[in-house]
Amino acid sequence: MDRSCSTRPTLAASNQDSSNGIAQDGVGGIYVAGEATSTNFPTTTGAYQTTNAGGVSDAFIAKLAIGPVSGQVAVPNVVGDTQAAANSSHHGAGLVLGTVTTQSSSTVASGDVISESPVAGTSVSNGSAVNIVVSTGPAQVAVPNVVGDTKAAANNSHHRSRTRARHGQHSEQLHRRIRQCD
């Protein structure tokens, strides 16, 4: 348990039952510990002991269900994470990786998540699939083959290609090919 506080919640069937502490684990589970003397202390199916064993008192630890509707989880924000990290985050939240599509992006690094659906914060059923779009990096631009062309024809191809190019690296590749024509 990584956090605790001094709140003393009432989780008792009588005024002689009491809680002694409350703590939260690393994944948000809330636990209350205390002692019970009443014979009608609330328990759940599957409890180790469902009745008072006699003596002065019985100790208890109770996990509280706080948060979204049972069986519902919030989609974690994985935009900007790598695909592997996104898969791990979704799995840790009780979700599964759905369809992975790729898309070029001049602003998101190759291999990182551009978007997810449903979007982060949406409440979905445990085990639901989350689809992601992963960046392939900047769009690739075809560099025309100008080997064997005259310099004027190569420059004309270069001009047409340059107007379509989004990044200087493609223009430099074309310049190298034109120089081969000289």
Task: Write the pLDDT tens digit of every residue in 115-126.
Answer: 999 999 898 888
Please name which of 128, 24, 119 lies closest in space to residue 71, comparing C-alpha atoms: 128
Task: Write the pLDDT tens digit of every residue in 102-114.
Answer: 999 999 999 999 9
Q: What's the CA gap between 80 and 68, in Å, rounded? A: 26
pLDDT at 166 over 60: no
Q: Report the DSSP pairing between strands 129-135 and 96-103.
A: parallel
Q: Give the pLDDT confidence score for residue 99 in this predicted structure.
A: 95
Q: Give the pLDDT confidence score for residue 5 in this predicted structure.
A: 44
Q: How many Cα atoms are found within 13 Å in the side-chain-facing hemisphere of 179? A: 6
Q: What's the CA gap between 64 and 10, in Å, rounded? A: 12
Task: Write the pLDDT tens digit of every residue in 124-156.
Answer: 888 999 999 999 999 887 777 888 888 888 777
Q: Which residue has the higher pLDDT, 166 or 17?
A: 17
Mean pLDDT on 58-77: 74
pLDDT mean across residues, the chain: 76
pLDDT at 60 over 60: yes
Per cent of the chain over pLDDT 90 is 29
Task: Write the pLDDT tens digit of every residue in 17-52.
Answer: 777 788 877 666 788 888 877 766 666 666 666 666
pLDDT at 9 over 50: no
Pick the CATH number of 72-135 from 3.30.10.20, 3.40.190.10, 3.40.50.1100, 2.40.10.10: 3.30.10.20
Domain with CATH 3.30.10.20 in the chain: 72-135
Q: Give the pLDDT confidence score for residue 133 in this predicted structure.
A: 96
C-beta contacts of 142-146 below 8 A and 24+ residues apart: 143/170, 143/173, 143/174, 143/177, 144/174, 145/177, 146/174, 146/177, 146/178, 146/180, 146/181
pLDDT at 95 over 90: yes
Residue position matching structure tokens 């009491």:
18
| b/e burial code for range 100-135 (CB count within 10 A of at least 16 → b) | eeeeebeebeeebbbbbebeeeeebeeebebebbbb
